[in-house]
Amino acid sequence: MNELIKKLVEAYGPSGFEDQVRAFVRTEVEGLADDISVDAMGNLIAHKKGDGSGLKVMIAAHMDEIGLMVTHVTEEGFLRFTNIGGIRAHTLLGNRVQFADGRIGVVYSDRIKDRGKVHPLSKHFIDVGADSREDCPVGVGDAAGFVRPFVAQGSRLIAKSMDDRIGCAVAIEAMKRLESSPHDIYFVFSVQEEVGTRGAQAAANKLDPDVGIALDVTLTGDVPEAMPMSVSLGKGTAIKVKDSGMIAHTGLVRVMKQRAEAAGIPYQLEVLTAGTTDARPIQIANGGAAAGCISIPCRYVHSQSEMVDAADVENSVRLLVEILANPIDL
C-alpha cells in the first residue's frame, strides 16, 4: 500500500485545485466501480452497486490539501499570500511549496526582531527566484501546496497531506478488497474539505444517502503536552463518537464497534474537541443521514510532516470492508 500512499500524498491538490490528484485517483479506481463521474464542484464519485437488499451508503475521503494562495507580487518579485484552509504561521519558515506547474517556492518571513514571536501570515512571502514583478512566473490567484517526500520508517509513515490522502488510500484499498456488498455504495473523493467541507455537502445533497461514513485523520493525545485525548498512534483505527461539528449516529457507532470486535480489529473511541470532517455535512444534508467517521490517528496534523501508523491504516481498511460487506442494522 505504501506505493499508493506515496503517490497520493505527494500529489498537488490544494482546495479548489484538485485536478491533478483527482486524475491520479481516477486511474486507481477505474475498474473497481460500476460507474465513475465528476460533479460540477469536482468531486470524483465512484459508484459500486449492491445486490439491492442493503442501504445507500456514501463514503467520503477528501482529496484536497491545505495550501497557500498568492494575493499580490511585490515589485521585487516576492509573493505575498493568504491561507487555503488551516495554515499556522509557525509551521511555515523555510518550507517549500509547489505550484500547479511544478515550480518550487521557498517560504520565509520579514525580519524577526523578537525571536519569541512568529509573524502573522501577512508578513510571510514566497520566493520563486524572480527578480521583479515583471519576470515573476507566478501571479495573483495561483495556489501552492507543500512539498515533502513520503517516508516509511518502521511502521510510521510520514508525509505532508496525510490529511486526507490517507483517507483516500483507505477508500481505494477497501474498494479493491470488497468482493460483494448488499449496499449501494458511493465512494466520494471530495473537494474543498479544508475550507469548510464544501464538496461533501454538494455530493451528499445530490446522493441523499441513508448512511454516511467519512474517512479522515484525527489528532492524538500521545505527544509531549498534547491536548488531552484518548487516541494514540498505533493502537488501532478510531471510531468517532463526537467532534466539534457533529455527534456520530449512535446506531452506526454501535455497528462499527460490533464489526471491529467480531473481526478482531483493534479500535479506539474518538472524542475530538477541535475540528470536524465530511461526516458533518453528510449528516445534515437533505433530510439527514446516519453519519459517522472512521478516523486514522495522526500526529502533527496540518504540519508538513504528518505521521500515521501503518497498522492503524490497515485496521481502518479492514473495518471499512467489514462494515460494507455486511448488513448495517442501525
- Residues catalogued as catalytic: 193
Least distance from Zn ion to the Cβ atom of residue 209, Å:
19
Looking at the Cβ atoms of 163 and 173, the one nearer to Zn ion is 163
Residue nearest to Zn ion (CB): 164
Q: Are 49 and 126 in contact (CB under 8 A)?
A: no
Which residue is associated with the grid cell 489528532? 219
* 163 is a contact residue toward Zn ion (CB under 5 A): yes
Length of the chain: 330
* 216 is a contact residue toward Zn ion (CB under 5 A): yes
**Contact window for Zn ion (CB under 5 A) among 15-23, 151-159, 211-219, 254-262:** 211-219
Q: Of Co ion, Zn ion, none, which one sits near residue 216, judging by CB under 5 to 8 A according to partner kind?
A: Zn ion
* 65 is a contact residue toward Zn ion (CB under 5 A): no
Least distance from Zn ion to the Cβ atom of residue 236, Å:
19
Least distance from Co ion to the Cβ atom of residue 28, Å:
21
Q: Are 39 and 52 in contact (CB under 8 A)?
A: no
Buried/exposed 257-295: b ≥16 CB within 10 Å, e otherwise: eebbeeeebebbebebeebbbbbbbbbebeeebbbbbbb
Q: Are 329 and 179 in contact (CB under 8 A)?
A: no
The number of C-alpha atoms within 13 Å of 106 and in the hemisphere containing its C-beta is: 6
Nearest to 310 by CA among 187, 172, 162: 162
Cα–Cα distance for residue pair 233/239, rounded to 1 Å:
14
**Contact window for Zn ion (CB under 5 A) among 87-95, 121-129, 160-168, 173-181:** 160-168
Backbone angles phi, psi at 265, to 5 degrees: -95, 120
Least distance from Co ion to the Cβ atom of residue 255, Å:
26
Q: Of Zn ion, Co ion, none, which one sits near residue 64, judging by CB under 5 to 8 A according to partner kind?
A: none
Cα–Cα distance for residue pair 218/250, rounded to 1 Å:
19
Q: Of Co ion, Zn ion, none, which one sits near residue 28, judging by CB under 5 to 8 A according to partner kind?
A: none
Joined together, the cell numbers standing for residue 130 give 524572480
Q: Which of 18, 64, 65, 163 binds Co ion (CB under 5 A)?
A: 163
Least distance from Co ion to the Cβ atom of residue 57, Å:
23
Looking at the Cβ atoms of 259 and 302, the one nearer to Co ion is 302
Report the interface residues with Co ion, using CB under 5 A: 163
The contact set with Zn ion (CB under 5 A) reads 163-164, 216
